[in-house]
A and B are shown apart, each in its own frame.
Chain A
Amino acid sequence: MSTPTTTRDAVIIGGNRIPFVRAHGAYAKASNQDMLTSALNGLIARFGLQGEQLGTVAGGAVMKHSKNFNLVRESVLGTPLDPKTPAYDVQMACATGMEAIGSLANKIKLGQIDSAVGGGVDSISDAPIVVTDELRGILMEANRAKTAGQRLKALAKIRPGHLVPQAPGVAEPRTGLSMGDHMAVTAHAWGITRQEQDELALASHKNLAAAYDAGFFDDLITPFQGVAKDNNLRPDSSMEKLAKLKPSFGRDLGEEATMTAANSTPLTDGAAAVLLGSEEWADAHDLPKLANFVDYEEGAVDFVDGAEGLLMAPAYAAARMLRRNNLTFEDFEFIEIHEAFASTVLAQIKAWEDEDFCRNKLGLDGAMGPIDRSKLNVNGSSLAAGHPFAATGGRIVGTLAKMLHGKPGKLGFISVCAAGGQGITAIIEGR
Chain B
Amino acid sequence: MRDSYTEFANTGLGRKLTKSLGLPQPAKLRRYRPGAPLIEGPVVVVGDSEASDRIAEVMLGWDLDVRRHLESREEAAAVVAAFDTTSSPEQLSSEVLAVGRLLKQLKSSARVITVFRDPQETEDPAVRAARKGVEGLTRSLAHEMRAGGTANGIVLQNELDAAAPGFAGALRFLLSGRSAFVSGQFITVGSVNGALPEDWSKPLQGQVAVVTGAARGIGAAIAETLHRDGAEVIAVDIPPAGEQLAAVANEISGTALQLDITAEDAGERILTHAEQHYGRLDIVVHNAGITRDKLLANMDASRWDSVIAVNIESQLRMNRAFLASELFNRAEATVGPRIVSLASTSGIAGNRGQTNYAASKSGVIGMVSATSDQLQARHGSINAVAPGFIETEMTAKIPLVTREVARRLNSLNQGGLPEDVAETIAFLASQAAGGTSGLTLRVCGQNLVGA
Chain A residues at the B interface, C-beta cutoff of 8 Å? 38, 41-42, 44-48, 50-51, 79-80, 215, 217-219, 221-226, 228, 286-288
Contact = CB atoms under 8 A, between A and B. Distances in A.
Contact of B243 (A47, A218, A223): A223
A44 B258 CA distance: 13
A45 B241 contact: no
A223 B245 CA distance: 10
Contacts of A226: 243
B221 to A, nearest CB: 18
B277 interface: yes
A224 B258 contact: no
B276 interface: yes
Contacts of B276: 286-288
Contact of A48 (B245, B254, B258, B259): B254
Contacts of A223: 239-243
Nearest to B258: A218
Contacts of B256: 42, 45-46, 222
A215 B261 CA distance: 12
Contacts of A228: 239-240, 242
A218 B263 CA distance: 12
A286 B239 contact: no
18 contacts: A41-B246, A41-B250, A42-B242, A42-B243, A45-B235, A45-B246, A45-B250, A46-B257, A80-B250, A215-B239, A221-B239, A222-B243, A222-B245, A222-B256, A222-B258, A224-B243, A226-B243, A288-B276
Contact of B258 (A79, A219, A288): A219
- Chain B interface residue count: which class? 20 to 34
Contacts of A48: 249, 253-255, 277
A215 B260 contact: yes
B252 to A, nearest CB: 9
Interface in B260-296: 260, 263, 276-279
Contacts of B278: 286
A222 B242 contact: yes
Give the 7 A-B residue pairs with the shortest CB-CB distance, closest first.
A45-B246, A45-B256, A45-B249, A228-B240, A48-B255, A222-B242, A50-B253
A204 B7 CA distance: 57
Interface in B407-427: none
B247 interface: yes
Contact of B242 (A50, A51, A221, A288): A221
A51 B242 CA distance: 20
A47 B260 CA distance: 19
Given A42-B242, A222-B256, 17 more contacts: A44-B250, A46-B255, A48-B249, A48-B277, A50-B253, A79-B250, A80-B250, A215-B260, A218-B260, A219-B258, A221-B242, A223-B242, A225-B243, A226-B243, A228-B239, A286-B276, A287-B276
Contacts of B240: 223, 228
A310 to B, nearest CB: 37
A362 to B, nearest CB: 42
A222 B277 contact: no
A50 B256 CA distance: 12
A45 B240 CA distance: 15
Interface centre among B240, B246, B257, B260 (most CB of A within 10 A): B246
A80 B249 CA distance: 11
Nearest to B239: A218
A42 B253 contact: no
A287 B276 CA distance: 7
A47 B255 contact: yes
A45 B258 CA distance: 10
Contacts of A215: 239, 260, 263
Contacts of B250: 41, 44-45, 50, 79-80
A279 to B, nearest CB: 15
B222 to A, nearest CB: 17
A221 B241 CA distance: 11
B285 to A, nearest CB: 18
Contacts of B239: 215, 217-218, 221, 223, 228
Contacts of B235: 45
A218 B270 CA distance: 13
A286 B242 contact: no
Nearest to A43: B246
B400 to A, nearest CB: 27
Given A48-B253, A50-B253, A218-B239, A286 B247 contact: no
Nearest to B249: A45
Given A50-B253, A286-B276, A287-B276, A38 B259 contact: no
Contact of A51 (B249, B253, B254): B253
Contacts of A41: 246-247, 250
B34 to A, nearest CB: 20
Choose among B235, B250, B254 the residue with the greatest number of A CB atoms under 10 Å from its CB.
B250
Which has the most chain A C-beta neighbours within 10 Å: B254, B276, B277?
A: B277
Contacts of B254: 45, 48
Nearest to A286: B277
Contacts of A38: 243
A286 B245 CA distance: 21
A234 B259 CA distance: 24
Nearest to B265: A215
A41 B251 CA distance: 11
Contacts of A47: 255, 277
A224 B257 CA distance: 16
Nearest to B244: A223
Contacts of A286: 276-279
A319 to B, nearest CB: 39
Contacts of A80: 250, 253
Interface in B100-159: none
Nearest to B272: A288
Contact of B246 (A222, A225, A288): A222
The interface centre, meaning the residue of A79, A218, A226 with most chain B CB atoms within 10 A of its CB, is A218
A226 B243 CA distance: 8
A41 B248 CA distance: 11
Contacts of B259: 218
Contacts of B253: 48, 50-51, 80
Contacts of A42: 242-243, 246, 256
Interface string B217-249: 000000000000000000100011111011101
Name, among A44, A48, A79, A215, the residue most crowded by chain B CB atoms within 10 Å (CB to CB). A48
B235 to A, nearest CB: 8
Contacts of B263: 215
Nearest to A52: B253
A288 B263 CA distance: 22
A38 B258 CA distance: 16
Nearest to B234: A48
A390 B259 CA distance: 28
A148 B167 CA distance: 84
Interface in B378-403: none
A143 to B, nearest CB: 42
B241 to A, nearest CB: 7
A80 B278 CA distance: 20
A222 B256 CA distance: 10
A51 B250 CA distance: 9
A16 B340 CA distance: 31
A218 B254 CA distance: 18
B280 to A, nearest CB: 11
Nearest to A220: B258
